[in-house]
Structure 1
């Protein structure tokens, strides 16, 4: 799993129990997945179509640092299927795993658009020599 982003748990991210609100973490994950798909598919029009079972395994408290990881599961014709994990860097525990999230590339009319990608590209792949 490639870990791309870190988030700092602040007071506004907490639930009444004093731990990280699950909805906040899901919002962070969805945003990171969208950004990853936008970059991979080179299209700013990306939507989340589906998330598989969401498995909360531990939590986080104020001041903890959360690391978000993403891996590509597969490239579809108009979609990119991703696997994600968020872990607490302070406790070294996995907080959440999502086996598959399907991100769909759209055209200017909001309809699924083939993207023509078949493998992960890195910035270095796109730079000219």
Structure 2
């Protein structure tokens, strides 16, 4: 799994217990899944269809740095299935895991659109192929 993004836990990210608010963390995960999918599918119109069970394993407090890892599991006709792990950068302790996040590629009409992708591609490889 590649950890693409780091977030610094700030006071506005905390719940009443003084730990990272789960809703904030889920928003970060959803955004990261969308960004990953947009880059992989080369389309800005991508939406979250489904998130499987979300397993909160530990927490984070103000000042912690968390990193979000995303991995592509499967390419469907118009979808991309991802998994996610968020961990504390300093302790390496897993904060949350999401086994499956299903992202759907959309056309201009807002309907699912086949993306014709079958494997993970890296931007540097796309650029090399266009030269």
**TM-score w.r.t. structure 1 length?**
0.98
1:31-50 to 2 correspondences below 5 Å? 31-50=31-50
1:1-129 to 2 correspondences below 5 Å? 1-127=1-127, 128-129=130-131
Cα deviation for residue 44 of structure 1 reads 0.3
Tell me, in whole angstroms, the C-alpha distance in 1 between the residues paired with 2:37 and 2:66. 21
Tell me, in whole angstroms, the C-alpha distance in 1 between the residues paired with 2:90 and 2:118. 36
Cα deviation for residue 91 of structure 1 reads 2.2
Cα deviation for residue 90 of structure 1 reads 2.1
The gaps in structure 1 that reach 5 residues or longer are: none
The gaps in structure 2 that reach 5 residues or longer are: none
Number of residues of Structure 1 aligned to a counterpart in Structure 2: 129
Runs of 4+ in 1 over 3 A off after TM superposition: none
**TM-score w.r.t. structure 2 length?**
0.97
